[in-house]
Structure 1
Amino acid sequence: MSTKKTLQRPDVLSVGASKPVVNGIQPSVVYASETPDALDDQYEGRAQGHTYAREGHPNADLVASAVARMEGMEAGLTLGSGMAAVTAVLLGLTKAGDHVLGGDQLYGRSLRLMSEDLPRLGIETSLADPTDAAGFAAAIRPETKLALIEVVSNPTLRMADLDGIAEACRERGVILVVDNTFTTPAAIKPIEHGADIVLHSVTKLLAGHSDVTLGWVGAKDPVQRKAIYDFAVTTGMTPSPFDCWLAERGMMTFPLRFARVQETAERLAAHLARQKGVTKVLYPTRDDHPDRARAQGLLRGQGCNMVSFEIEGGRKAANAFTQGAADIAFAPTLGDVGTTLSHPASSSHRALSAERRAALGMSEGFFRVSVGLEDPDALIAAFDAGLAAARA
């Protein structure tokens, strides 16, 4: 698959001498072939085509190609959700007796998969701090098959030492998988920093409208790519053609959305840091961010759409804040055109003990914000209303 940039979207249908500006939805579950020989040609790679939607369909192919171009990769696979992408990689490439090493602040369901499901299948797992490449490398075992990290952690926005971890994995023959959902290929292309596999929850920033549930995964190695594909097809991780169609629409505006939300996020972070009752603000471009120097190098001076902050007063103040900031959706998601507010202790990281959350820097007053496209002044006013309610 070519990574050449193009201004024209690939066509699905042509009508006579004209062709559609917007690709159509292809809902067909099955596709007919002329002969058994023709079907053999498709399955054996001598001809392109589709047979059964669980194995692939045109709308999924369009999304897969679009994200692959963004990531600078040869090919990719569209799946039914971001967690489908994580699962297809972890279970498609490992077996009983293998060890998987993960970052200690992965997305909540990725952590659950690591801590509960993989061990049940005989796959050992452990977690390490990805901001410390030496410590992460020390956690690699002889039986470690794969390492999974995120460039920016959820929800404390710490920066992984991607280059150091990639070097350690390369030296030890460990497959490095990077979840690039938070940062997106507009901020960083992990493949350029030594990653072997990149995955996304397309649901989030890439599609961008909270009306799509999709995942994507790309692998450099064709053998690994095939193993991931086979597992996904066998277990039915099929993406919806309609969701793929919506995602293609969303990705057309992604670069514009990404630029805008970063500007607003940086301004919001600066404002929050000046407010009474706010005890901590985390944003990668701020001078007080613990990994600012690394963020500047990896993200090339960019931030992201996420801001995390902490208010004093615990759960009581947190409840008051969400009620006071009534114009901001309190919802456990990110990447929407509208700003959303998440409380990790009651949503994404509720499965962790209070002590474990505290160790990771998540108190009852800790919030994560996914900044949207609203007018920045109106957004700041909504946060001020929430803070006033929390202080009261």
Structure 2
Amino acid sequence: MSKSGKSIVRRTGWPTSVSHPVVTPLQPSVVYSSPDPDTLDQQYEQKSGYTYAREGHPNAVVLAQKIDMLEGVEGGIITGSGMSAIGAVFLACLKAGDHVLGGNQLYGRSLRLMSQDLPKFGVETSFADPTDVSAMKAAVQPNTKMILVEVVSNPTIRVADMVGIAALAKEIGALLVVDNTFTTPRGYQPFEHGADIVVHSVTKLLAGHSDVTLGYAVAKDAELQTAIYDANASWGLTASPFDCWLAERGLHSFELRYDRAEENATKLATALKDLDGVKRVLHPSLPDHPDHNRVQQVLGNRPGNMLSFELTGGRETANAMTKAAPNIAFAPTLGDIGTTLSHPPSSSHRGLTTEGRAELGISEGFFRVSVGVEDIDLLIEEFSTAIKAATA
């Protein structure tokens, strides 16, 4: 108790001002007070205002609205991670007896979720090559409810036949779900090309600084979007207000970062392909890319910031490569403002067998690079020196 006899624990109103903060305020409150039961009823029935942070909070709404603008849609939600965004979509749209067809080069955790976890709930799954629409069509079943693809595959940088896949989804009446994490709205607009649902790992390029873990999910159909929202709230896939606040700040520089990183990736890919010890380089800008004829149709002039390369040699060479490049972060992530290097056999695709990785073209000498905004001459020098040392 204070000297006046009044408890300082009692809540006080937020100070008012005729001016407004330039920066979005951080609002960590878990609960929101309503004046009476009638008002609370109205809030729930009209889905207006805030009641409990698991069901929505201001920082998540602000961030979602900005990503909505990038994707050209309304009503998206922020989730606790990229995988929880995919999980919310699955929970909202699938039931026992349904079948999901996925691209066979999805992110490793997406592959695991489909192959090991969905079957526990009675959902059937299968995979096919998204660069070959005839293979995708052959994998369709009478109960196929959904097709999940990435525009550019992780980590092999293959470009999906999005035109053919969109037509296939429409033909069979399946939902087309596009994971737009690699390409981002800057590189590809899924809803303009037949997508029904779009998901992102906001953790990556959108936030851009490796300091948040968030996802995003949005459906073109309002009823589907409500189902996704409800699944997110019911399963507690809630996003942290602080992470949302950080991600919004990172999003302000997204377009500048993306353009610079994309330019750097194009130049780095060209430089790497001429180095001794480099077996192959994968980047959509290169004329020898396996899907070069499709790149312009799908990506236009936006090849993106992601590239992969394969060194001659095995795990010993891979270890030598990372040790010879101490200034390039060796980390299982992408989309940071700085360049990061990852080794799929020991990270994202470690859950696959050696044979399974080989089928995808992932050897022990295979690396994925998320190119950042550093000086390009410095990047080329660091990679060249490390590859020379590793393959000597």
Aligned pairs for 1:1-392 (under 5 A) are 15-45=16-46, 48-392=48-392
Report the secondary structure of 2:310's partner residue: strand
The share of aligned pairs that are identical, in percent, is: 60
Structure 1, residues 130-174: CA drift from partner, whole Å, max 9, x if none? Answer: 111122122111111111100000000001111111111111110
CA–CA separation in structure 2 for the residues paired with 1:59 and 1:294: 39
Report the secondary structure of 2:335's partner residue: coil
Query: What amino acid maps onto 1:156 in structure 2?
Result: T
CA–CA separation in structure 2 for the residues paired with 1:14 and 1:121: 50
Contact 2:276 2:388 in 1 (8 A): no
Contact 1:285 1:296 in 2 (8 A): no
CA–CA separation in structure 1 for the residues paired with 2:293 and 2:313: 32
CA–CA separation in structure 2 for the residues paired with 1:168 and 1:391: 44
Contact 1:63 1:248 in 2 (8 A): yes
* C-alpha deviation, 1:14, in angstroms: 9.1
- Stretches of structure 1 lacking an aligned partner (at least 5 in a row): 1-12
* C-alpha deviation, 1:48, in angstroms: 2.2
Report the secondary structure of 1:352's partner residue: coil
Structure 1, residues 85-108: CA drift from partner, whole Å, max 9, x if none? Answer: 011111221111111110000000
CA–CA separation in structure 2 for the residues paired with 1:69 and 1:14: 31
1:5 matched to which residue of 2?
A: none
Moved more, 130-139 or 335-344: 130-139
Report the secondary structure of 1:262's partner residue: helix
Contact 1:14 1:20 in 2 (8 A): no
Q: Alpha carbons of 1:49 and 1:320: their partners in 2 closer, same or farther (altered >3 Å)? A: same
CA–CA separation in structure 2 for the residues paired with 1:77 and 1:70: 14
Query: What amino acid maps onto 2:93 in structure 1?
Result: L
* C-alpha deviation, 1:206, in angstroms: 0.1
* C-alpha deviation, 1:201, in angstroms: 0.2
CA–CA separation in structure 1 for the residues paired with 2:180 and 2:217: 10
Query: What amino acid maps onto 1:21 in structure 2?
Result: V
Contact 2:266 2:283 in 1 (8 A): yes
Query: What amino acid maps onto 1:236 in structure 2?
Result: G
* C-alpha deviation, 1:299, in angstroms: 1.4
Larger radius of gyration: 2
Contact 2:317 2:365 in 1 (8 A): yes
Report the secondary structure of 1:209's partner residue: coil
1:6 matched to which residue of 2?
A: none
* C-alpha deviation, 1:83, in angstroms: 0.3
Query: What amino acid maps onto 1:304 in structure 2?
Result: G
Moved more, 190-199 or 373-382: 373-382
Contact 1:326 1:382 in 2 (8 A): no
Contact 2:209 2:250 in 1 (8 A): yes
CA–CA separation in structure 2 for the residues paired with 1:248 and 1:74: 17
CA–CA separation in structure 2 for the residues paired with 1:348 and 1:102: 17
Contact 1:203 1:213 in 2 (8 A): yes
* C-alpha deviation, 1:16, in angstroms: 2.0
Contact 2:277 2:388 in 1 (8 A): no
What's the TM-score once normalised by structure 2's chain length? 0.95
2:5 matched to which residue of 1?
A: none
CA–CA separation in structure 2 for the residues paired with 1:150 and 1:15: 46
- Stretches of structure 2 lacking an aligned partner (at least 5 in a row): 1-13
Equivalences, count: 379
Pairwise CA RMSD:
1.1
Report the secondary structure of 1:44's partner residue: helix
* C-alpha deviation, 1:292, in angstroms: 1.6
Report the secondary structure of 2:101's partner residue: strand
* C-alpha deviation, 1:225, in angstroms: 0.8
CA–CA separation in structure 2 for the residues paired with 1:319 and 1:356: 22
